[in-house]
Amino acid sequence: MTRILHAVLTYGRMIKFSHSVFALPFALSGAALAATRGGLRPAQLGWICLAMVAARSAAMGFNRLVDRHLDAANPRTQNRELPRGAVTPLAVGLFVLLSSAALILAAHQLNSLCFYLSPLALAILFFYSLTKRFTWASHLFLGLSLAGAPLGAWLAVAGRFDLPPVVLGLAVLTWVAGFDVIYACQDYDHDRGAGLRSIPVRFGIPRSLQLARLLHLLAMSLFFALGQLMELNELYTIGLGVIGGLLLYEHRLVKAEDLSRLDLAFFTMNGIISTVYFAFTLADLLFLGEAALWL
């Protein structure tokens, strides 16, 4: 039992399971918004959560596997589980396969559209891990990977494409890309030396922080547009106001000449932002919306 617990904790640290808070609230938001068009069953919610956890586990496992040599050369990441030998590449490869299978199973239980699109979702998730080798736009591909969370959850509930989840997905894409640009600033020197691509390497740290602000401004505009499109109410607008304030504080924490508070800006603030978005969206739908969420 102790060995099993140790293995669970090791793999949880490897894939940074706690960072699920970035995407899962947006998946739940997508499901809640889709439910206004036809209801949401508890079983669907369970399969959506499994699909989300499995997709993220597969993506992070693949990332750690293909980046293990890069991580070993970077002082910030050289103590990760693969570089220091806490897990083997074969074990991580098996973990990725099992997580991928769990995603496909969950998608199959949801509906045929989700099932048919699940290989595409995995391809996008895996492709992101390769992008920093050839394009400075890798942050946008990370955003695209997480944008699949609300879009996939909408498809799981509604069974069809529509404009609102696309707008929400684009909002998540630009939000994620913005904070990933900030996060990449700490690896500026290493990435330049290793020949890796990123916005900070391409444009420098000061301009990259400006681009991150523009990306977050675009994200806020898209969140607002979604509220108008879905005819959401005052609670949603208040939530956007809170998120806007949190983003302003996040950008005040990080300066080109001082990245010492970057972890606070990345981990804490963005985890709070995603949770606040879901909480206010759900509250708006439950207390001010016209449609019931549950059948």
Q: What SS3 class is residue 240?
A: helix
Give the CATH fold of the 22-36+117-288 domain.
Four Helix Bundle (Hemerythrin (Met), subunit A) (1.20.120)
Distance, CA of 270 to CA of 230 (rounded, Å): 24
**Sequential pLDDT tens for the chain (295 residues):** 666 665 666 655 666 655 566 789 999 999 999 999 878 899 999 999 999 999 999 999 999 999 999 888 998 888 888 888 888 999 999 999 999 999 999 999 999 999 999 999 999 999 999 999 999 999 999 999 999 999 999 999 999 999 999 999 999 999 999 999 999 999 999 999 999 999 999 999 999 999 999 999 999 999 999 999 999 999 999 999 999 999 999 999 888 888 888 776 677 788 899 999 999 999 999 998 755 444 4
Dig out the tokens for 210 from the structure.
Answer: 């400006």
CA 97 to chain centre: 20
- The answer to whether 14 touches 60, Cβ cutoff 8 Å, is yes
Total length of the chain: 295
Backbone dihedral region for residue 294 (phi beyond 0: left; psi -120 to 50: alpha; all else: beta): beta
* pLDDT at residue number 39: 83
**Nearest-angstrom CA–CA distance, 163 and 166:** 5
- Determine the pLDDT at residue 85: 84
Q: 243, 277 in Cβ contact below 8 A?
A: yes
Write out the two tokens for 218: 């675009």
Backbone angles phi, psi at 40, to 5 degrees: -140, 125
| Cα gap 283→169, rounded to integer Å | 20
Rounded Cα–Cα distance for residues 265 and 295 (Å): 39
* Per-residue model confidence (pLDDT) at position 293: 46
Which pTM does this prediction carry? 0.92
Beta-carbon neighbour count of residue 130 at 10 Å? 15
DSSP one-letter code for 185: G
Output 143-147 pairs: Cβ under 8 A, ≥24 positions apart: 143/172, 143/173, 143/174, 143/175, 143/176, 143/177, 143/180, 144/173, 145/59, 146/22, 146/23, 146/26, 146/172, 146/173, 146/176, 147/172, 147/173, 147/176
Within 10 A of 295 (CB to CB), how many other CB atoms are there?
A: 10
